[in-house]
């Protein structure tokens, strides 16, 4: 029954984010059902449902944010996660209703490969903005977990391949004061990353390098760390192996590659977040799927990396990272 009614929880959650309920309750504020601007019955039902999900707590005659809502669902907070909620609600929720079609045809549902070059080829700038907000909100907390798990002490220059809005670079540079980072992504994405770095006060340590990691013959060189975060699950094995070869060539001797992903177990029977993200790749990509750490370890070894190993952590965008060193 929990599986059957899972969408009830999500849509309740998404509606509360759409109404900006948690931002209105920021800072310990308490509101009653008469004060949230909805008719009495739906207000009562929404507040009770959000409390049941652990997003709100009862406080006398009203409700206030739970600790998790206060940290992650208040707009403007460093780890605001509402972008991901909004993206899934507006972009992927309805296409997921046609998952049977995707299983039968092996074609994405959120865009049309026959008429569009990629999922980013859209005339809707608001949807692209929502996408990048979602990626940032997922990445920023995942980056903090990665920074606490992978030791980059002594590393000086990091290349973030497909780095998007630069969330990983901001968190890693905050944790490692001697580190400088470069976001390598499409030109319009680099503009977003530059703005995020400036807002974080890190423009002097985070730069951008416009390019296309699939089409360009090589990646920028001279780096002692290359990060691939939530990138390789978008592509098939052959594409990923070609990209890892470019990474190997770009790294300085002794350089470290980091593949950060929701990793499947070697038997491909879980964990559920990684397996279900794989299903989402069916909905959103032409050839993407989630891979096991054993597969990534093999690909890195085949590309020439040594000391290949997996480290684990718990975060929304990844449950671990596969590391390798260029001899």
Query: What's the CA gap between 110 and 119, in Å, rounded?
Result: 7
In contact, 102 and 285? CB cutoff 8 Å = no
Query: What's the CA gap between 113 and 301, in Å, rounded?
Result: 33
DSSP letters of 130-172?
HHHHHHHHHHHHHHHHHHHHS--TT--EEEEET-TT-HHHHHH
Task: Give residues with Cβ within 8 angstroms of 82, minimum separation 6.
Answer: 17, 22, 73, 75, 133, 137
In contact, 213 and 247? CB cutoff 8 Å = no
**Residue 233 known to be catalytic:** yes
Task: Give residues with Cβ within 8 angstroms of 273, minimum separation 6.
Answer: 262, 319
Query: What's the CA gap between 15 and 62, in Å, rounded?
Result: 19
Residue 137 sits at φ, ψ, to 5 deg, of -65, -30
Residue of 97, 176, 188, 233 marked catalytic: 233
Active-site residue set? 233
């Amino acid at each position: 029954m929990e599986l059957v009614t899972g969408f009830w929880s999500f849509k309740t959650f998404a509606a509360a984010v759409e109404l900006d309920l948690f931002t209105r309750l920021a800072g310990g504020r308490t509101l009653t059902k008469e004060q949230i601007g909805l008719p009495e019955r739906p207000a009562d039902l929404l507040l009770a449902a959000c409390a049941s999900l652990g997003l709100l707590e009862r406080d006398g005659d009203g409700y206030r944010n739970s600790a998790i809502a206060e940290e992650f669902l208040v707009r403007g907070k460093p780890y605001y996660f509402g972008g991901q909620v909004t993206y899934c609600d507006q972009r992927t929720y309805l296409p997921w209703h046609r998952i049977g079609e995707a299983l039968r045809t092996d074609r994405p549902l959120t865009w049309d490969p026959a008429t569009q070059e990629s999922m980013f080829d859209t005339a809707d700038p608001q949807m692209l903005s929502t996408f990048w907000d979602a990626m940032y909100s997922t990445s920023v907390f995942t980056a903090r977990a990665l920074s606490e798990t992978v030791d980059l002490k002594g590393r000086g220059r990091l290349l973030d391949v497909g780095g998007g809005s630069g969330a990983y670079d901001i968190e890693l540079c905050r944790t490692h004061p001697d580190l400088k980072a470069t976001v390598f992504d499409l030109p319009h994405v680099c503009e977003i990353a530059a703005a995020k770095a400036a807002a974080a006060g890190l423009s002097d340590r985070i730069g951008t390098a416009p390019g296309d990691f699939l089409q360009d013959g090589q990646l920028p060189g001279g780096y002692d760390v290359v990060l691939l975060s939530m990138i390789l699950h978008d592509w098939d094995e052959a594409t990923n192996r070609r990209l890892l070869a470019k990474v190997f060539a770009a790294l300085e001797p002794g350089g470290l590659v980091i593949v950060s992903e929701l990793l499947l177990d070697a038997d491909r029977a879980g964990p559920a977040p990684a397996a279900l993200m794989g299903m989402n790749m069916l909905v959103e990509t032409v050839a993407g799927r989630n891979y096991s750490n054993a597969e990534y370890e093999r690909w890195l070894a085949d590309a020439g990396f040594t000391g290949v190993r997996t480290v684990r952590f718990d975060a929304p965008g990844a449950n671990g990272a596969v590391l390798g060193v260029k001899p």
